[in-house]
């Protein structure tokens, strides 16, 4: 039962977060409600959720794996100045995928798209 509650707590943290979180960030946010949960437990559950397709891994190329609810497919704008992340809920690639699948015969499973730039704050600083 304890295991079930911990799993629910981990999923809730990611559901409530507007942006993807690393295992360490999930661990930090769980400290209030689940102070006994070890980082290794958080990590193990996150990986299990990925294999169950409840979570998706987000890789922004910085070597940190972040997780977000799988059903919330979307993309991100990332500020190269301050690392701010803005989620784009619309996926512009679904129609492209359909065309590619037709042209190439690929059965497409997933894609990634991340857009980098400067947020308004950082762009202002550069002047
Ligand atoms: Zn910025
Ligand atoms: Zn997409």
Question: What does the pLDDT read at residue 84?
Answer: 86
DSSP run (H or E) holding 78: strand 75-79
Q: How far is the CA of 115 from the centre of ligand 1 (A)?
A: 13
User: Is the pLDDT reported for residue 9 higher than 50?
Assistant: yes
Question: What does the pLDDT read at residue 1?
Answer: 45
Q: How far is the CA of 124 from the centre of ligand 1 (A)?
A: 9
Q: What is the mean pLDDT of residues 82-86?
A: 86
- At 18, the pLDDT band (50, 70, 90 cuts) reads confident
pTM of the model: 0.61
Q: How far is the CA of 33 from the centre of ligand 2 (A)?
A: 33
Where along the chain do the CATH 1.10.10.10 domains lie? 1-71
Q: Which residue has the higher pLDDT, 12 or 61?
A: 12
- Residue that is written with structure tokens 């977060």 in the block: 17
The most confident of the ranges 26-35, 48-57, 64-73, 85-94 is: 26-35
Question: What does the pLDDT read at residue 2?
Answer: 58
Query: Do residues 81 and 119 lie in contact, with contact meaning Cβ atoms separated by under 8 Å?
Result: yes
Where along the chain do the CATH 3.30.1490.190 domains lie? 73-127
Question: What does the pLDDT read at residue 32?
Answer: 85
1-71: in CATH 1.10.10.10: yes
Q: How far is the CA of 43 from the centre of ligand 1 (A)?
A: 29
Closest ligand by atom to 115 CA: 2
Q: Please tell me the CATH code under which domain 73-127 is placed.
A: 3.30.1490.190
Closest ligand by atom to 120 CA: 1
Cβ contacts of 7 within 8 Å, gap of 6 or more? 45, 49
Q: What is the mean pLDDT of residues 3-28?
A: 90
Q: How far is the CA of 48 from the centre of ligand 2 (A)?
A: 23
Q: How far is the CA of 96 from the centre of ligand 1 (A)?
A: 30
């Amino acid at each position: 039962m304890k295991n079930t509650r911990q799993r629910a707590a981990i999923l809730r943290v990611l559901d409530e977060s507007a942006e993807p979180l690393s295992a360490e960030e999930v661990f930090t946010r769980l400290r209030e409600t689940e102070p006994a949960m070890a980082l290794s437990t958080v990590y193990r559950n996150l990986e299990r959720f990925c294999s169950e397709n409840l979570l998706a891994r987000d890789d922004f190329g910085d070597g940190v794996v972040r997780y977000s609810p799988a059903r919330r497919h979307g993309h991100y704008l990332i500020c190269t100045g301050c690392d701010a992340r803005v989620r784009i809920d619309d996926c512009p690639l679904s129609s492209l995928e359909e065309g590619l699948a037709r042209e190439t015969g690929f059965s497409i499973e997933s894609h990634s798209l991340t857009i980098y730039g400067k947020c308004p704050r950082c762009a202002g600083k550069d002047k």
